[in-house]
Amino acid sequence: MATKTFKLIGLDEGGVRQSQGSENLRLVCRIEGGGKLAVWGSVGARENIDRVLSAGMPCEVVCEVIPPSEWAIQKGHSHWVPQGKSLRVRSH
């Protein structure tokens, strides 16, 4: 798992979305220079999502990321922050 820094410039997909039939939540943000960062959580554990929402756009985040699934790549996601992985807002 790699730690990277991103400048988030806007929200995508209309804010926090819940996956059908599960408690998985995601917040997808557009990254400066292209691509999208999907921050994952659940109904009871959405700390990373709330950190990004509290910071507002644009903001800079440092986070642990993994490559997205094939389905997500087709949607334009370039990086995922899984639930429970480190994410901090560095500046606003």
Instruction: Write phi, then psi, for 73 (nearest 5 degrees).
Output: -60, -40
Domain positions in the chain are: 2-91
- Token couple for 44: 């009871």
> Tell me, what's the pLDDT at 54?
95
Q: Which CATH architecture has domain 2-91?
A: Beta Barrel (2.40)
pLDDT band at residue 11, thresholds of 50, 70 and 90?
very high
- The CA-based angle 64-61-75, given to 5 degrees, is 70
Is the per-residue pLDDT at 19 higher than 70? Answer: yes
Which pTM value belongs to this model? 0.90
In this structure, the number of other CB atoms found within 10 A of the CB of residue 77 comes to: 20
